A and B are shown apart, each in its own frame.
Chain A
Amino acid sequence: MKQLPKFRQLVTVAFLSVFLAACAGNDTKEQEAAAAQAAAEAAAQAEADAAAAKAAKERAEAEAAAELRRLQDDARMAGNVVYFEFDSSALTDNGRAVLDKHVALLKSTGASVRLEGHTDERGTREYNMALGERRANAVRDYMMVKGIPGYRLESISFGEEKPVSYGSSEVSWSQNRRVEIQ
């Protein structure tokens, strides 16, 4: 075909078209009707399938949203603070339970968080800055083990600089030895 002049290509196409149309004209009307019905059925089926798929998708989305809400509620109920013993960065059972809720939520959302480590006022400020970081890192390491990638977790220590309770007794100190998940 490549070497045929343009005019001869057109003539060839025109002839073939007329011949094919003539053949079609010879087929029965029943066949046409059956084809039309089949097409209509297929269309109806496709519509039904689409509706079902849409409903399933909506249901899945609603379920996912409900699941997310449940995870968010769980995390909120658990609180965003874990507490520590004096001069310790070891996670308590309670702390791990709180973190598990946040891990579940983070797996679902893919979000990044800041882990802010804090200490009580006892001891020197710069040593406490290091202790606060050790606490934040203890939380980070736990979350990484549970499957949250490290690049989504930032540890930052404020040492004893940002107490939530200002008193100088164990009641205040125990509230200040903490990591906040932000």
Chain B
Amino acid sequence: MKSFLWSVLILIVTFSSGVARAELVIEITQGIDNPTVIAVSPFAWEGSGVAPEDVAYIIQNDLYRSGQFAPVARENMLGTPSRDEDIFFRDWRMVNAQYLLIGRLTGDQTLIADFALYDVTKQTLVIQGREESVVGEVRTLSHRIADRVYTALTGIPGAFATKLLYVAVTPIPGEKDYYELTLADADGARPRVLLASREPILAPTWSPDAKEIAYVSFETSRPAIFRQNLQTGAREQLTAFRGLNGSPSWSPDGQRMAMVLSKDGNPDIYVLDMQTYVLERITRNYAIDTEPTWMPDGKSLLFTSDRPGRPQIYRYDFVTGLTDRVTYEGSYNARARVAQDGRNVVLVHQQDGDYKIAVLDLETRRLTALTSTDLDESPSIAPNGSMVLYATKQAGRGILAAVSVDGGARFNLPARDGEVREPAWSPYLPKTP
């Protein structure tokens, strides 16, 4: 009866998009040494009624979070221009701004934002453009403008208009913990509960088109892999094998899913064809083989194996059928995730007894620790390769944290209440209205 009630609750949450209790709060802990100073003048609201959101504030916070920009505080601004003819560059030089972004927001059901970015020193226009969205997606519109500014000034595509998946856990004394699989904007805003359960939820991951997710849920009292459509809420249980059913990872073409199963005796890597449901066994080893993840070209898989005694990263090549060891530095390297460039691999690395996030350059084979805390895990890399999101502990509580791949910028994302873990940064999202 109890489990029946839970399955009912699970469905309710799936289709009503429950409001999350575990909203993330951003605490910037470190920026780069000489950040670019940018002023984002408040966008003029030219529609009717009250402005739907403070677009300039969202953009400014996105840029600040990257660690590469220092926004000019509003109270220091000597004017708030929204049109080219209202700009006095001298006012912006006085507050040391190197760049100035202005804009106007108008519309009714569809919002239109026109923006322009200026180089204050040269007194020239850098880019101008327009972004549109439905009224409920004004935050997405703001993140897209931030992406365009970031791209124009750094040469790297922005990844602010993306999403995060994470697992929020509320411990309830004397009872089972309460798990919520949560979807939020990359800045932690608009959290939405996709699945609630009294049994563990883990290993959330994205389909390459960002329309679906997969995860492991213990709601049946055993681990099982599920996929869930983000638009329709439709859910499908993909596996229910005896033993482990874990670490789902979609292939870059979306046609296959790598996973770990122990149905044949001990944990090995398998690949499931998502059309035919044919299962192919990839590893055959008495060791623990787990945590598969695809290289961006889809031609090989990285995975964790303890075949040398302690866990290390290995690579399986689909073309040659050969497996080779990738990591040698340190006694513990696990749960790799690969940047879209196919070069930087982020992983969990043990150093001086502590578990840290490290980045391995596959070309130079250089391994660099990115964090100096302990119990860091579950690294997930932004689609533009700039930032790594991971889980760690702060004063005994599970929080999310982010660090730039060069180690220069950091911020924490604790939940307002409870614990958060297992972040998964989305791919670039399909452009929706």
Contact = CB atoms under 8 A, between A and B. Distances in A.
Nearest to A157: B244
Contacts of B246: 126, 129-130
B66 interface: no
A134 B288 contact: yes
Nearest to A156: B222
Contact of B335 (A127, A131, A137, A155): A127
Interface in B38-76: none
Contact of B396 (A156, A161, A166): A166
A130 B290 contact: yes
Contact of B377 (A125, A130, A131, A166): A125
B90 to A, nearest CB: 54
B222 A126 contact: no
B244 A129 contact: yes
B262 A133 contact: yes
Interface in A137-151: 137
A38 to B, nearest CB: 65
A126 B245 CA distance: 10
Contact of A122 (B247, B260, B355): B355
Contacts of B334: 123-124, 127
Interface in A88-121: 121
Given A130-B244, A156-B222, A168-B375, A125 B203 contact: yes
A66 to B, nearest CB: 35
Contacts of A129: 202, 223, 244, 246, 290
Contact of A130 (B171, B177, B202, B262): B262
Contacts of A54: none
A126 B203 contact: yes
Nearest to A131: B288
Nearest to A136: B243
A163 to B, nearest CB: 10
B171 A166 contact: yes
B327 to A, nearest CB: 13
A127 B203 CA distance: 12
Interface in B73-91: none
A124 B311 CA distance: 10
Contacts of B244: 129-130, 133, 157
A164 to B, nearest CB: 12
A127 B288 contact: yes
Contacts of A159: 202
B262 A124 contact: no
Interface in B222-253: 222-223, 243-244, 246-247
B396 A167 contact: yes
Contacts of B267: 130, 133
Interface in A161-182: 161-162, 166-168
B92 interface: no
A158 interface: yes
Interface in A18-62: none
Given A122-B375, A127-B304, 6 more contacts: A122-B355, A124-B304, A127-B291, A133-B262, A134-B288, A166-B396
8 contacts: A123-B348, A125-B422, A129-B223, A130-B246, A157-B223, A158-B200, A161-B200, A166-B396
Interface of B: 171, 177, 200, 202-203, 218, 222-223, 243-244, 246-247, 260, 262, 266-267, 288, 290-291, 304, 306, 310-311, 332, 334-335, 348, 355, 375, 377-378, 393, 396, 422
